[in-house]
Amino acid sequence: MPSPAPSKQVQVVLDDMPPQMREGAIALRHLIYDTAAQLGQSPPQESLKWGQPSYVSPQGTPLRIAASKHGAFGLFAHCQSTVVSEFSQIFGNDFAIQGNREISFTNVADIQPDKLKQLIVHALTYRA
Summarize pLDDT for 72-102 with one digit per residue, the tens. 999 999 989 999 999 999 999 999 999 999 9
Mean pLDDT, rounded, for 28-48:
96
Using the predicted structure, report yes or no on whether residue 36 has a pLDDT greater than 70: yes
* C-alpha of 49 from chain center: 13
Contact 74, 97 (CB under 8 A): no
Predicted pLDDT at 71: 83
For 88, other C-beta atoms within 10 Å of its C-beta total 19
What fold is seen in the domain 8-124?
Aspartate Aminotransferase, domain 1 (3.90.1150)
Predicted pLDDT at 128: 64
Residue extents of the structural domains in the chain: 8-124
Mean pLDDT, rounded, for 28-44:
96
Contact 120, 31 (CB under 8 A): yes
Predicted pLDDT at 5: 93
Q: Nearest 5 degrees, angle CA 91-CA 97-CA 101? A: 110
Percentage of residues of the chain with pLDDT beyond 90: 91
**pTM for the whole thing?**
0.95
